[in-house]
């Protein structure tokens, strides 16, 4: 069997949001510096902040300030995650033109996270879609716990697809499946991507893997073989898992870039610049990050003899 891998992929750097949200709070200056360093790596999309209630997520309390202070590089798109309609209004007022909304495929996870049923969240998301579109902004529907839930275990593929399909019917511009706690494996990736595409042919799809159980890049490879060409990753592998202390976070951007580029897949990202940003992220959070390419260096780096 042979596969046609994409010749290029689009990466969204989520370290400043998903990563930092799962770290101890860092100063605003350090957040702005990190986003600015990432803007110089060649990455074309950065999820910069989330507009959540500061009491809910203190790490994002300065979202408005970070959003207004980052240096916008030409050719880079900056997005923000919003948890609800109120957050969407805040984000749109701040000038965000690319929003991400999120719902858990798992009922229990959604109830624990936002105290609403999945259906209630989807109703509010429909209102966000309408408002954002009136304001000329695009909205991505992120379905979290798409490959499993820390409370419920496996979430049926049919349920995940039904949740995503509802948002697509309501006007979501694209869909992202989030492996919130690193429960995906390549077989499960194939199953979900296949079922989603059957139900929603032509809908743009992003995949968001966490490397909590070491299957992150294997999942990316499975998705590449299906022609998926849009992935989230976080610099240094920033961010842990709120349910498992010590567990690793998102797949590391430099590991993904390192692998993809060697496979002849263009990412547009400079690995050297990215490694510098990863080192900066490590200094900002004050501890070692899980990225192995950050530790070992690129495979092309040789020891002087």
Catalytic residue among 189, 241, 281, 294: 241
| Residue 100 interacting with Zn ion (CB under 5 A) | no
In the bound state with Zn ion, the residue whose beta carbon lies nearer, of 41 and 234, is: 234
Q: Of the listed pieces 12-20, 48-56, 194-202, 291-299, which binds Zn ion according to CB under 5 A?
A: 12-20
Q: Which residue has 């770290």 as its token pair?
A: 23
Six-digit token string for 99: 């929003």
- Residue from the set 9, 15, 18, 172 that interacts with Zn ion by CB under 5 A: 18
CA dihedral 33, 48, 265, 42 (to 10 degrees): -40
Q: For the chain, state the CA radius of gyration.
A: 18
Least gap, CB of 269 to Zn ion (angstroms)? 20
Least gap, CB of 179 to Zn ion (angstroms)? 8
DSSP string, 191-243: HHHHHHHHHSTT-EEEEEEB-TTS-HHHHHHHHHHTT--EEEEBGGG----TT
In the bound state with Zn ion, the residue whose beta carbon lies nearer, of 18 and 23, is: 18
Least gap, CB of 17 to Zn ion (angstroms)? 9
For residue 241, indicate whether it is catalytic.
Answer: yes
Size of the site for Zn ion (CB under 5 A): 1
Residue in 283, 282, 302 with CA at minimum distance from that of residue 291 = 282
In the bound state with Zn ion, the residue whose beta carbon lies nearer, of 165 and 211, is: 211
Q: Of the listed pieces 13-21, 71-79, 101-109, 259-267, which binds Zn ion according to CB under 5 A?
A: 13-21
Six-digit token string for 305: 């003899």
In the bound state with Zn ion, the residue whose beta carbon lies nearer, of 92 and 256, is: 256
Residue in 50, 35, 20, 14 with CA at minimum distance from that of residue 242 = 20
Residues engaged in binding Zn ion (CB under 5 A): 18
Q: Which residues are catalytic?
A: 241
């Amino acid at each position: 069997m042979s596969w046609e891998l994409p010749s290029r992929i689009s990466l969204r750097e989520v370290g400043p949001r998903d990563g930092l949200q799962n770290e101890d709070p860092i100063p605003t200056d350090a957040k702005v510096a990190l986003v600015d360093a990432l803007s110089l790596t060649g990455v074309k999309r950065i999820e910069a902040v989330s507009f959540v209630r500061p009491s809910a997520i203190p790490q994002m309390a300065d979202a408005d300030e970070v959003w207004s202070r980052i240096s916008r590089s030409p050719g880079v798109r900056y997005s923000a995650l919003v948890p609800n309609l109120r957050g969407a209004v805040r984000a749109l007022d701040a000038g965000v033109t690319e929003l991400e909304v999120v719902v858990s495929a798992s009922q229990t996870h959604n109830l624990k996270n936002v105290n609403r049923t999945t259906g209630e969240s989807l109703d509010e998301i429909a209102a966000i879609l309408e408002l954002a579109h009136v304001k000329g902004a695009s909205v991505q529907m992120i379905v979290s716990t798409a490959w499993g839930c820390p409370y419920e275990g496996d979430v049926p593929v049919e349920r995940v697809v039904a949740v995503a399909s509802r948002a697509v019917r309501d006007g979501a511009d694209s869909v992202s499946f989030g492996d919130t706690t690193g429960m995906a494996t390549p077989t499960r990736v194939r199953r979900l991507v296949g079922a989603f595409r059957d139900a929603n042919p032509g809908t743009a799809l992003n995949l968001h893997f966490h490397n909590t159980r070491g299957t992150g890049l294997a999942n990316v490879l499975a998705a590449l073989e299906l022609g998926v060409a849009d992935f989230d990753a976080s610099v240094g592998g920033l961010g842990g898992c709120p349910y498992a202390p010590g567990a690793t976070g998102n797949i590391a951007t430099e590991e993904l870039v390192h692998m993809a580029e060697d496979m002849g897949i263009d990412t547009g990202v400079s690995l050297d610049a990215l490694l510098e940003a990863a080192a900066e992220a490590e200094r900002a959070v004050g501890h070692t990050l899980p990225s192995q390419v950050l530790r070992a260096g690129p495979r092309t780096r040789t020891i002087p003899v």
